[in-house]
Amino acid sequence: MTDFASLRATMVERQLRRRGIADERVLAAMAEVPREDFVSERYRSRAYSDSALPIGEGQTISQPWIVAAICQALELGGGECVLEVGTGSGYSAAVLCRLAAEVVSVERHEPLAAAARQALDSLGVANVEVIVGDGSRGVPERAPFEAIAVHATAPAPPATLLGQLAAAGRLVVPIAADAADLLTVFRHRDGELSSETIGPCRFVPLVGEEGFGPA
């Protein structure tokens, strides 16, 4: 029988800590969430591989380092309301919910949203709400958000999502570039917006009004 707990501990040390993930809260959350519960039986043996994996509907579960890098860049202290765009398998939401007070997660594929809800429910997660809709438009009725995580590549920083950030809020989103997507964090500070590139990455495209066209 596969020892997933051991594989998870190895993932945290080798894929995350040794590659620059230093936020101990993020490392602890990644060490707690059973990634194997968010992939199909076909891919369970590869749950802790250093790669993205298919989850259906043409979507993927991101490699562990990407999930951790996004969470670290959000600089969560525990009391925030986080907007997540692209629920996917629900794995990132399961990590985020251990770092923030509340997570509102938007997924455009109903089958993925339903599967994510089931996986989160099976873990007893109570502070994540999964909504079906166009994530590029955010959730204006729940704004502002202290942090927003986008798990799909945008052609440019989505203005609507930036507008739903609270003062001193952080938005992490991959931005399309020629050679590779660039995972970027945008910060509101003293009324000004700054940006910092975390590193190259590959994501599925953001589909929606402020993405690469409507679904």
Active site residues: 62
Amino acid, res. 177: A
Name every residue whose Cβ is closer than 8 Å to that of residue 129 and which is 6 or more positions away in sequence: 102, 103, 104, 105
Give dist(CA 80, CA 7) in Å, integer.
Answer: 30
Pair of tokens at residue 12: 């945290």
Give dist(CA 167, CA 100) in Å, integer.
Answer: 17
Q: Within 13 A of 171's CA, how many CA atoms are on the CB side?
A: 30
Query: For the chain, where are the E strands, in sequence order?
Result: 53-56, 59-61, 81-85, 102-107, 128-132, 145-150, 165-175, 181-189, 192-201
190: left (phi over 0), alpha (psi -120 to 50) or beta: left
